[in-house]
Amino acid sequence: MRVKIHGKVKNFRTVWYENGTVNLIDQRKLPYKFEIYRTRDFRDTASAIGNMIVRGAPAIGATAAFGMAQAAFRFKGNDMEKFKEYMKNAADLFRKTRPTAHDLFYAINLMDEIIEESNSVGEAKYLLKKKSQEYADKSAEMCKRIGKIGEKLISNNDRILTHCNAGALGCVDYGTALSVIRFARYNNKDIFVFVDETRPRCQGSKLTAWELEQEGIRYRIIADNAAGYYMQNSEIDLVIVGADRIAINGDIANKIGTYEKAVLAKENSIPFYVAAP
Q: How far apart are CA 261 and CA 54, in angstroms?
A: 26
Would the pLDDT of 268 be above 90? Answer: yes
The dihedrals phi and psi of 233, each to the nearest 5 degrees, come to -95, 20
CATH of domain 2-144: 1.20.120.420
Which residues carry out catalysis?
A: 244
The CATH number for 147-274, chosen from 3.40.50.10890, 3.40.50.10470, 3.40.50.300, 3.20.20.70, is: 3.40.50.10470
Read off the pTM: 0.95
Q: How far apart are CA 266 and CA 272, in angstroms?
A: 8
Would the pLDDT of 100 be above 80? Answer: no
Burial class (CB in 10 A: 0-12, 13-18, 19+), 160: buried
Q: How confident is the model at residue 277 (pLDDT cuts 50, 70, 90)?
A: confident
Domain segments of the chain as ranges: 2-144, 147-274
**Taking residues 32-45, what's their average pLDDT?**
98
Would the pLDDT of 99 be above 90? Answer: no
Same fold, 2-144 and 147-274: no
Would the pLDDT of 271 be above 90? Answer: yes
The beta strand positions in the chain, using DSSP E, are 2-5, 8-11, 15-18, 21-25, 36-39, 159-162, 192-196, 218-222, 238-241, 245-246, 252-253, 272-274
